[in-house]
C-alpha cells in the first residue's frame, strides 16, 4: 500500500461527515450519508443511521467515499472489507480520486415540482397516455427520486419536465423507472434514471447539486 494513501487517510479527522457511493445488486448505485470513523490507516469505518445499509449492497465492487469537510475535502476509492452489525462498514482505502469524475453521480436532497408523462409512440398501441404531478426528494446529474400520487403505468420512455429554480428555463428529458416503493396514504416513491438529456441541462443540474451541497454543509456546520 503506497504511503501516500496511508497519509491521506491519517489526515482525515475522526467523525467527519461523509457520503458513500456504492453498487447495489439489481438496482442503480446508492448515495448514503454517513460518518467517518478512524481505524488503522488505510482502514477506516463508515457509520450509518439505523436501517440504512441495504441487504443487496454489492460488497465485491469498489466504492467511492466523499469526505465532505470544507477544510479538507477528500474523495477515496475504497473496498468494503466487512459489514459490522447493521450500521457499520469497515473500509480499505485504495487511492484518492479526482472528485470531478463523480460530478454526474453526486446526489443531494432537493425538492421541486415535477411532471412525469407518457405518450404511446404507436397510435394503435394498447398503452394509454397519462400525466402525473409530483415532487422530487433528491437529484443528481443521472437521475432523481420523487414522490407521486400514483404508480406509473409504464417503466420506460417517461417524459419528465421540471424547473430547477423559479423563473428558470424548464428542463425536459426522457427517463426510465429504476424502482418503485409504495408508501402510506397512496403515495409512491419512484427512482428515475435519465436516458436522454441535453448536455447543457445535465450541466445545469450538476451545478445546482454542487451549490446545494455547499449550502447544506454550511447549515450543518452552523447548527453544530
Summarised one tens digit per residue, pLDDT across range 58-83 is 898 888 898 877 666 788 989 999 99
Q: Using CB atoms within 10 A of its CB, is residue 173 exposed (0-12), middle (13-18) or buried (19+)?
A: buried
| pLDDT at residue 70, rounded to an integer | 66
Burial 23-38 (b: 16+ CB within 10 A, else e): beeeeebbbbebbbbe
Residues 6+ apart with CB under 8 A from 168: none
Q: 185 versus 90: which is more confidently predicted?
A: 90
Over residues 131-142, the mean pLDDT reads 94
**How many residues are there in the chain?**
224
Q: 209 versus 193: which is more confidently predicted?
A: 193
Residue 76 bridge partners (DSSP): 65, 96
Taking 3-state DSSP, the helix, strand and coil percentages for the chain, each rounded to the nearest 5, stand at 20, 45, 40
pLDDT category of residue 171 using cuts at 50, 70 and 90: very high
Task: Report yes or no: 96 and 73 within 8 Å, Cβ to Cβ.
Answer: no
| pLDDT at residue 21, rounded to an integer | 87
Where exactly are the structural domains of the chain? 3-97, 108-220
pLDDT of 132 higher than 60: yes
Phi, psi of 8 (to 5 degrees): -65, -45
Q: Which CATH number fits domain 3-97: 3.30.1330.10, 2.30.110.70, 3.40.50.280, 1.10.1060.10?
A: 2.30.110.70
pLDDT category of residue 116 using cuts at 50, 70 and 90: very high
Task: Compute the distance between CA of residue 139 and CA of residue 148 in angstroms, rounded to an integer.
Answer: 15
Over residues 103-120, the mean pLDDT reads 87
Q: What angle do CA 142, 173, 158 make, to 5 degrees?
A: 95
For CA atoms 45, 46, 47, 52, give the dihedral sign. negative
In the structure grid, which three cell numbers stand for residue 221, read together?
456546520
| pLDDT at residue 25, rounded to an integer | 84
| pLDDT at residue 122, rounded to an integer | 77
H/E segment holding residue 9: helix 3-11
pLDDT category of residue 99 using cuts at 50, 70 and 90: low
CA distances from 15 to 11, 37, 43, 156, 218 (A): 12, 5, 15, 41, 17
Query: Does the reported pTM lie above 0.75?
Result: no
Helix, strand, or coil here: 57? strand
Q: What is the pLDDT of residues 29-66, one digit of tens each?
A: 788 899 999 999 999 999 999 989 998 898 988 888 98
Phi, psi of 49 (to 5 degrees): -60, 160
Residue 136 bridge partners (DSSP): 146
Task: Report yes or no: 190 and 176 within 8 Å, Cβ to Cβ.
Answer: no
Over residues 92-116, the mean pLDDT reads 80
- Is the domain 108-220 a CATH 2.40.10.220 member? yes
Task: Output the average pLDDT for the chain.
Answer: 88
Amino acid at each position: 500500500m503506497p504511503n501516500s494513501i496511508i497519509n491521506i487517510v491519517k489526515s482525515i479527522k475522526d467523525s467527519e461527515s461523509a457520503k458513500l457511493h456504492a453498487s447495489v445488486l439489481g438496482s442503480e448505485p446508492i448515495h448514503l450519508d454517513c460518518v467517518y470513523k478512524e481505524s488503522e490507516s488505510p482502514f477506516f469505518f463508515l457509520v450509518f443511521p439505523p436501517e440504512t445499509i441495504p441487504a443487496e449492497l454489492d460488497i465485491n465492487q469498489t466504492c467511492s467515499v466523499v469526505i465532505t469537510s470544507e477544510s479538507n475535502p477528500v474523495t477515496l476509492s475504497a473496498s468494503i472489507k466487512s459489514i459490522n452489525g447493521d450500521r457499520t462498514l469497515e473500509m480499505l482505502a485504495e487511492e484518492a480520486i479526482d472528485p470531478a469524475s463523480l460530478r454526474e453521480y453526486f446526489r443531494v436532497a432537493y425538492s421541486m415540482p415535477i411532471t412525469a408523462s407518457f405518450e404511446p409512440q404507436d397510435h394503435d398501441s394498447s398503452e394509454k397516455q397519462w400525466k402525473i404531478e409530483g415532487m422530487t426528494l433528491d437529484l443528481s446529474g443521472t437521475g432523481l427520486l420523487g414522490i407521486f400520487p400514483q404508480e406509473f403505468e409504464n417503466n420506460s420512455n417517461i417524459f419528465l419536465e421540471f424547473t430547477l429554480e423559479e423563473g428558470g428555463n424548464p428542463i425536459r428529458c426522457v427517463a426510465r423507472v429504476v424502482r418503485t416503493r409504495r408508501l402510506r396514504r397512496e403515495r409512491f416513491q419512484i427512482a428515475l434514471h435519465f436516458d436522454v438529456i441535453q448536455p447543457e441541462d445535465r450541466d445545469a443540474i450538476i451545478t445546482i447539486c454542487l451549490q446545494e451541497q455547499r449550502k447544506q454543509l454550511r447549515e450543518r456546520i452552523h447548527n453544530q
